[in-house]
Amino acid sequence: MNPEVKPFGASALRDAVGGRVYAAGDDGYHAVRRPWQRLHDPHPAFVVEATGPHDVLAALRFAREHDLLFSVQTTGHGAVLPADGGVLVKTTAMSSVEVDAGRRIARVGAGAVWSDVIAAAAPHGLAPLSGTGSSVGVVGYTLGGGTGLLSRAFGYAADSVVSAQVVTAAGELVTASPHQNPDLYWAIRGGSGNFGVVTALEFRLHPVASVYAGMTMFEPDRAAEAFAVYREWALDEPDESHAVLQLMQMPDMQQVPEPVRGKRVLMLRAMHLGSAEDAERLYAPLRDAAGTTLMDGIRTTTYADAAAAFPPPPPMVSDIRFELFDELPDEVLAAIVDARGRIVGIEVRHWGGEPSRPGENAGPLGHRDVPFSVAISGMTQDRDEAAEVRADLEALATKLRPYATGGSFLNFLIDTDRTADAYTAEDYRRLTEVKAQYDPDNVFRANHNIPPAT
């Protein structure tokens, strides 16, 4: 930290912002400094609870004046670097949600989480392109691309963005839209927080009256057969369906239903925009291949209820390895089925659908034509176990990489050395040029950083 900051920094920053400012040693400091992602244990010099764009601007100016690292979080699900010694802005209080049902548009503040938007849109028969976790922040998820249960039908969350209010590195509050700062509008829709602080976001909602959705769990003994059927079945999957197969280690906890408590299971997680009869005909080959059912939880319900079926886990150390595949050869499936250790889940997903047909001015989300992914996840509440979890994840990922494309997707990426892998070479080059225009000093670097072109 700049030694000139300490004597007067806290009082100067408190005078400049309307929200509360925490310095190291203050009551409540440790509660607000920690992200949901406990892979990191950050110790910023100051934490600012922003109440609006003016607080973001003031905190940014203070950080720049004193040469301090600047970072932003809502929930911290996507935290990839600690903001040690810097200024951390928490946007949690900026959680407004407005729904214009006639235009099918939502406008949200930087602190909104998906459950807020889902609840506001549901009475109008509308739904956002949210992810599996409804407690995740809207803005961070969307700027990283955003793929969820409705993406194959309607596109990525970033594709739904209409406009954004952005605080730039120069300390200006600007609008990014197709007609205002169009380069910035293009870049933020997949380029993450590299180009400014998004303080408000407008995006399209979609008419979704009901869905056939949920999870069915099977004994894992026929996982190899099920994955083999899935890789062929997925090639003809209609856009109105989103179905993934997972091997999951269920926790041995009282709140987990007894039939699957503490067990390794094969899980079909699905959402279908259609009738139960059509969905069951579609998913019948997967059910038949999977074998013995332990719990069947797929049913007709509302989108809001389907989203609530995935309760938010407590803050924890969460690690992931993610790879994209043009095809899933037997060697990949065998490695998945045989994996053990501290791996909690292995998800095989079919992509395609609407995201693979981008519009002319779609954002910089690369590899839209790649059909499959494998995500390997591990979790623990003990940071001392993080290295052990990482080693088991990396061991399986090492076996898979010879068959992968080398590409990635930002929302699933932990390794900041692989940021460029989330984009095509042309898009990454253009992103560095936009970065040079809006943030030539790389102020916004405590993230999956895209450096400015030189």
Class of the domain covering 97-207+423-438: alpha beta
pTM of the predicted model as reported, rounded to 2 decimal places: 0.94
Question: Which uninterrupted H or E stretch holds 16?
Answer: helix 5-16
Residue 350: the pLDDT is 98
Amino acid at 149: L
Provide the percentage of residues in the chain whose pLDDT is more than 90. Answer: 87
Tokens of 362: 């779609």
Q: 124: which 2 tokens?
A: 């109008």
Topology annotation, domain 5-90: 3.30.43
Amino acid at site 396: L
Q: From the CB of residue 354, how many other CB atoms can be counted at a distance below 10 Å?
A: 17
* Res 452: pLDDT: 98
Q: Which of 33-42, 48-57, 261-270, 272-281 has the lowest mean pLDDT?
A: 33-42
- Indicate if the pLDDT at residue 249 is higher than 80: yes
Residue 193 has pLDDT above 50, yes or no: yes
Residue 451 has pLDDT above 70, yes or no: yes
CATH code assigned to 211-416: 3.40.462.20
Token pair listed for 75: 């929930």
Domain boundary assignment for the chain? 5-90, 97-207+423-438, 211-416
What pLDDT was estimated at residue 3? 41
Collapsing DSSP to helix, strand or coil, 122 comes out as: helix
User: For the chain, what is the mean pLDDT?
Assistant: 95
In sequence order, the 6+-apart residues with CB closer than 8 A to the CB of 425 are none
Beta strands 87-90 and 46-49, pairing class: parallel
Cα–Cα distance between 201 and 63 in angstroms, integer? 24
